[in-house]
Amino acid sequence: MNGPGRLDLEQLLQHGPCRFGELSDGTRHYPGTLVRCLNQLSVDGLVFLDSNRRYGLRDAEALRLRFTSFRTRFPNLLSDAATEIFE
């Protein structure tokens, strides 16, 4: 994964659940881009919106495992992104 979605996941992995404004400040996406990315990440089962209107990762450890598995199968596609996110 690269592009805006990766930045959103990176922000959530580093800082935990965030409100829309915090994500917007942290990723510097335009609001429309951020909405589109968060909706897609939600549809993909990676993020959720809690009762306090904060976006969070469904399971950060499972997400790390998914990235690790993907990086193992496709090392050239995710190597730089995974390093930035997990190290």
Q: What is the pLDDT of residue 55?
A: 92
Q: What is the pLDDT of residue 79?
A: 53
Q: What is the pLDDT of residue 64?
A: 74
Q: Nearest-CA neighbor of 47 among 78, 80, 18, 82?
A: 18
Q: Where are the domains of the chain?
A: 4-81
Q: What is the pLDDT of residue 5?
A: 67
**Which CATH entry fits the domain spanning 4-81: 3.40.50.280, 1.10.10.10, 3.90.420.10, 3.40.50.10490?**
1.10.10.10
The enclosing H or E element of 19 equals strand 18-19
Residue position matching structure tokens 């050239």: 76
Three-state secondary structure string covering 49-78: ECCCCEEEECCHHHHHHHHHHHHHHCHHHH
| pLDDT by position in tens, the chain (length 87) | 446 666 677 778 778 899 999 888 877 788 898 899 899 888 988 889 999 999 998 887 877 777 777 777 776 665 555 555 555
